[in-house]
């Protein structure tokens, strides 16, 4: 009984915060300048895209997810890629721009080919890997699925 009471209390508190518009982070002041993006930040952010793709591929290969779910993860990766910050100049930024062109963001709920693993994607990925290495920020993947 005590457990049900706690669950109900937590649910009510969460609902109240959601309805009140509470967020976990305060809104950014419009006057505040954006943090300077450096190539290392871009390379680390692209690692999140690689992590999504790697873990989805492993799960699909092992039969733990079906084709539709795999495509959903790939679509999510395109949206995460679209949010990867760049300096807008230099080899790292150019390679990310080429990746974004090869695999444009697929909006949630939409269905379209991703462009991931296309020739253009693979060429841009090699360019980014080399550029990140030159910038002192190797691309990294976090494997967390498959046991």
- State pLDDT tens for residues 3-14: 444 544 444 444
Give the pLDDT of residue 35.
Answer: 58
Least confident of 17-21, 62-66, 89-93, 140-144: 17-21
What whole-number distance in Å separates Cα of residue 144 and Cα of residue 57?
A: 12
41: exposed, middle or buried (Cβ count in 10 Å: 0-12, 13-18, 19+): middle
First to last CA, the chain: 36
Q: How far apart are CA 116 and CA 124, in angstroms?
A: 11
What percentage of the chain has pLDDT greater than the value 70? 76
Q: Measured between alpha carbons, how far is 35 from 127 in angstroms, rounded to an integer?
A: 25
0.85 cut: is pTM over it?
no
pLDDT at 147: 62
Q: How far apart are CA 42 and CA 96, in angstroms?
A: 8
């Amino acid at each position: 009984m005590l457990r049900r009471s706690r669950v109900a209390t937590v649910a009510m508190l969460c609902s109240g915060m959601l309805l009140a518009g509470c967020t976990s982070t305060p809104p950014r002041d419009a006057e505040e300048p954006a943090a300077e993006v450096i190539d290392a930040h871009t390379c680390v952010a692209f690692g999140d895209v690689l992590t999504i793709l790697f873990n989805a591929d492993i799960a699909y290969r092992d039969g733990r997810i079906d084709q539709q779910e795999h495509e959903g993860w790939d679509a999510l990766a395109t949206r995460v890629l679209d949010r990867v910050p760049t300096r807008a100049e230099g080899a790292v930024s150019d390679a990310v721009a080429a990746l974004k062109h090869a695999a444009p963001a697929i909006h949630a709920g939409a269905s379209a080919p991703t462009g991931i693993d296309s020739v253009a994607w693979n060429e841009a990925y090699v360019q980014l890997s080399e550029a990140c290495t030159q910038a002192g920020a190797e691309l990294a993947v976090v494997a967390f699925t498959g046991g």
